[in-house]
Amino acid sequence: MAQLSQLLSRLPESKDVRMSTMGHVLWVCWHARLTPAVNQTLLNYGGMLVGEEHEQALWFFFTDDVFLALARLMVWGNFNDLAVSIELFPGRLQLGGKREASLLLDGALCAQEMLVRDTFEVWVHPKSREGKNALPGIAFEPQPGRQGMCSVDWATIVVDVRMPYSSTQAWFALLHPLGSPLDKAFQSGWSSMFKRIEALLQKHKIKSIVHETFVIVAVDNLLMLRTFLRDYLHSFDKQNNDPGDYWPCVCVVADRNNLNFNTDLPKKIGLQWDNLMPDFPYMSYRNAYLLGEGFTVRDLRFTGEQTSMDSWCNVLLDENSISGRSIPLLMAAQLSGGTAGGAGCFYCGIHTHTAAECPTRTYFPSRAEIWDEMAGMDLEKINEGFRQIEMVLDRKGVDGYEELLEGEDDAAVLLQAVLDLNSPSQLRNVPRHWLYRMREPDPDEEKPARDDSPAWDLLDRLAQTAPDNLPDLETKLKQAIARHQRDPRLRMVRAFLLIEKNDFSHAAACFREAASLTPAPTLQAWNEYLLARLAEEQGQFGPAIEQYAQVLRVMPQWRDVQYRGIVCRVKMGFAEQVLEQIVKLVREEPAYFNRILIDPALERGRLLILSSLYDLWEEAKKNAEEERVKINALEARLSAWFSEDHPVQMQLGHKIRKLEALSNVNNYIAFLQVVEERPTLEKELDESIEREVEDLRNRYKYYLDVLQEIRDEASWFPFPSVLREFSSDFNESAGIINWAFACNFNEAEIFQRAQASMPRLAALLRNLKKRLQFLRMVRDGTLFAMTMGKTFFWVETVGLLFCFIGIPIVVFWGESLYLGWLRDLLGENQWSIQKVLSVIVTMIALGLAALRTTLVFDRKREKLLEQARSQREKAQQMRLERIRKQRMAEAENARRVQQAEAEREMQRQLKERMRKD
């Protein structure tokens, strides 16, 4: 048994409903396999398949042709076995932002169940048959509902098998080629294209009228409409057709309704043909969804008002590359729309306001940074920004610009960028162009001073003058021009004033006069550019293109001129002819990608342009995705090398995270920036690692020198038992340093471990230095005492010997040695004198010992330290030599093992060859 709630649960939920409409819902249930004739009949009568699952489906009909379709099936079912049960009841079709379809039904209807019988059954809800009693050949017979159906007054259909039950739907298709019929290219191109269209019409026997440059086609049924549009769209497939047979042509499909098949149809439809996009037919959403599978529906632009099923859209074939290979961007209707036949704003090019109302008149001058900000905006944010702009401008009109521009969100940045597209022709930028003569000033350049020309004051007053007060200001301008007839700036101000008064012919004359009076070639070219801009906004695209080309010859480096020429071709409808120029311009100057993306002036060729830029977009996106992997590896490498509090981590990590965030931005310029900046960051990381490794190695070398100095200082110490704690710290420091020099600092793990050991090593060396001060005092004191004691001992010994031997010699042998006077001097108290002399000798010995020790102490200490250093270096050399010999022995053993393995392999191969032979 089929359950409607189960089928409804599979339909997508639309949180943002873009459009909705009431109509007829068919719940079709069947056994096993459904006869293809059922679906084909429903499709041919304008049915839209909303959802389908096992043995049940939901269809939606916009018109009462649903009764004709059911009548046709009833007739067919009378002569064929058709185990199908159908319920017809009212419902609302809802389409979401991504055109996902869902149905809104009455709650009692949603809980229904259906048991399918062996015969064809159609049940009609009472609300669906209200006012349908006059349908030819169709009647309704009340019948009680079956089990599982909701409790309403159901009825079945009774049909007259003699009636044809043809669909009432019919359409007119209008074809209008672009260009002037007097143009030779038009005559040859449209002639070839018309032959192809004429053959198509003859093939399907479709009636047509040719009037002036319009081809009016009568389409009698939905099947013919599908066939005609499919063959017509195939005729624009330039990959499979001869490009010489192609000519851009606008196609509009309109409901026949009460319109007559005559030459007045183009006027009665009420479209501005010169603003429509060629190649892709225009039709209502209602008719577009009737086309069914094989066709893609494309929105024209985002509109703030509620979109109805009767609004215009474009259709194209699914196999067309534009269907899947296009950048999904929707422009705000308030920026790209406008009044029929009206000129756009000269300052910004938007058609929904005049130059006198343009927000750029009083806004601050253009900022170069705005395009950098645009580069950081995701495509989805750009679309959301256009939606917000549309909502505000639709609600507040021109006053909404101020609200949007004062904001700090993405919509403000986006609107500033849109208004900046025509910055060379805007009043707010005139002072800058006068001062710097159309060049960009250097960041540190001093701003030139204004001269005493009255043009400055009159320009400022023009920016603040309301439209009603422009005549008074014009009078003052004329007076100033009469006094300063050679000042071209006054004529430029008057030209801008005349533009705001919509006096375009006199404004053009003022720009010509200003160009003739301007001595600077750049300012002269600028006036010529403004003349072209004026012609462009009046719809004179041919003269504007010629004028832009003339300016470009004078200033070939001014890309804005080249871009405006491309825009004019697109406005004429010949976007196909400038696609290669657009791609070339973007490759030469990538900043123009975002300009092209958000330019409302390109609306007439937006589908083709977005498709042509798609390859550039995808190429840049693919490269950015590859770089994103490398950025993640870069971040992982940075984390592996440096801790979170390391200066390199804090500085370079911020840049990497910023670049990683940029790599997630869906923007062409962001893609290019990621590809450009990632190698720079990688190089910076390599240099940082190399620098930090060298710095770490130098620090360990410094700590090694400190440790060696400490060891040399402590090497000669007389009390080794006191050095337990000192030796423990020393050995730990030596172990850390020896490990560090034995490792490879070019490995991240080793580097981080070596860095982590630095604080402990520094603390150990600080402790060793503190203890070394005490050790040095004890050592130096001991050495001083020993040196002084040794000197004292020898001096004392010599002195005492002299006393103990000399005095007895004088006493006993003084006379014989002619020293009698000395013996008399000693008298009888020689032993007392000897004691006194011993004391004197001792004092002299102490003095001499102290003096000598002071004189030789430093030399003796350095000698002892040098001996200790020599012994250490000798021991180190012996250790290095032992290690070298050990490594040589290991290398020799490895060589022998390798040689033995090679010999065994040769013997094995020899045995294999002998076995094969």
pLDDT tens for each residue of 530-583? 999 999 999 899 999 999 999 999 999 999 999 999 999 999 988 888 999 999
As a whole number of angstroms, the distance between CA 504 and CA 343 comes to: 10
Bridge partners of residue 174, in order along the sequence: 216, 252
* pLDDT band at residue 26 using 50, 70 and 90 as cut-offs: very high
Question: Could you tell me the pTM of the whole model?
Answer: 0.79
Model confidence at 817: pLDDT above 90: no
pLDDT averaged over the chain?
86
Model confidence at 238: pLDDT above 90: no
621-680 confidence digits (pLDDT tens): 999 999 999 999 999 999 888 888 888 888 899 999 999 999 999 999 999 999 999 999
Exposure string of 133-153, with b = 16+ CB inside 10 Å and e = fewer, is eebebbebeeeeeeeebbeee
- The two three-digit tokens of residue 796, written as one number: 């004392």
Please give the span between the terminal C-alpha atoms of the chain, in angstroms, as a whole number: 79
As a whole number of angstroms, the distance between CA 292 and CA 46 comes to: 9
Bridge partners of residue 296, in order along the sequence: 316
Give CA 447 to chain center in angstroms: 35
Rg of the chain's alpha carbons, rounded to an integer? Answer: 50
As a whole number of angstroms, the distance between CA 178 and CA 436 comes to: 42
- The answer to whether the beta carbons of residues 169 and 63 sit under 8 Å apart is yes
491-525 confidence digits (pLDDT tens): 999 999 999 999 999 999 999 999 999 989 999 99
pLDDT for res 388 = 93
pLDDT for res 258 = 83
* pLDDT band at residue 340 using 50, 70 and 90 as cut-offs: very low
- The two three-digit tokens of residue 659, written as one number: 């670049």
As a whole number of angstroms, the distance between CA 237 and CA 321 comes to: 10
As a whole number of angstroms, the distance between CA 317 and CA 298 comes to: 11
Q: Where are the alpha helices (DSSP H) in 364-469?
A: 369-375, 379-396, 400-405, 410-419, 430-436, 455-464
pLDDT for res 775 = 66
Tell me which H or E stretch contains 546. helix 541-554
- Mean pLDDT comparison of 322-331, 768-777, 831-840, highest-scoring range: 322-331
Give me the percent of the chain exceeding a pLDDT of 70: 91
- Residue 827: CB atoms within 10 A of its CB come to 10
343-370 confidence digits (pLDDT tens): 779 999 998 899 999 999 988 898 889 9
Model confidence at 806: pLDDT above 70: no
Range in 46-50, 171-175, 176-180 with the lowest mean pLDDT: 176-180
| Mean pLDDT across 778-788 | 72
As a whole number of angstroms, the distance between CA 783 and CA 794 comes to: 17
Choose between 172 and 813: higher pLDDT: 172
Model confidence at 320: pLDDT above 80: no
* pLDDT band at residue 78 using 50, 70 and 90 as cut-offs: confident
- The answer to whether the beta carbons of residues 100 and 12 sit under 8 Å apart is yes
pLDDT for res 765 = 85
pLDDT for res 243 = 57
As a whole number of angstroms, the distance between CA 203 and CA 160 comes to: 34
Model confidence at 808: pLDDT above 90: no
Between helix 748-813 and helix 668-714 the angle, nearest 10°, is 20
Length of the chain: 917
- The answer to whether the beta carbons of residues 425 and 530 sit under 8 Å apart is yes
Model confidence at 395: pLDDT above 70: yes
β-strands 214-219, 171-177: how paired? antiparallel
- The two three-digit tokens of residue 123, written as one number: 């049940």
Range in 126-130, 233-237, 625-629 with the lowest mean pLDDT: 233-237
pLDDT for res 188 = 87
* pLDDT band at residue 341 using 50, 70 and 90 as cut-offs: very low
β-strands 84-96, 121-124: how paired? parallel
As a whole number of angstroms, the distance between CA 559 and CA 584 comes to: 12
As a whole number of angstroms, the distance between CA 509 and CA 692 comes to: 68
* pLDDT band at residue 155 using 50, 70 and 90 as cut-offs: very high
- The answer to whether the beta carbons of residues 368 and 432 sit under 8 Å apart is no
| Mean pLDDT across 837-862 | 79
- The answer to whether the beta carbons of residues 178 and 162 sit under 8 Å apart is no
Give CA 899 to chain center in angstroms: 59
pLDDT for res 322 = 75
pLDDT for res 697 = 87
> What's 172's DSSP letter?
E
| Mean pLDDT across 89-110 | 89
Measured CA angle at 116 (ends 111, 121), to 5 deg: 100
Place of tokens 């940045």: 413
Nearest alpha carbon to residue 28 among 59, 6, 65, 74: 59
- The two three-digit tokens of residue 499, written as one number: 């533009």
- Listed in sequence order, the residues at least 6 apart from 845 whose beta carbon sits closer than 8 Å to its beta carbon are 791, 792, 795, 796, 799
Measured CA angle at 553 (ends 551, 556), to 5 deg: 95
Give CA 239 to chain center in angstroms: 32
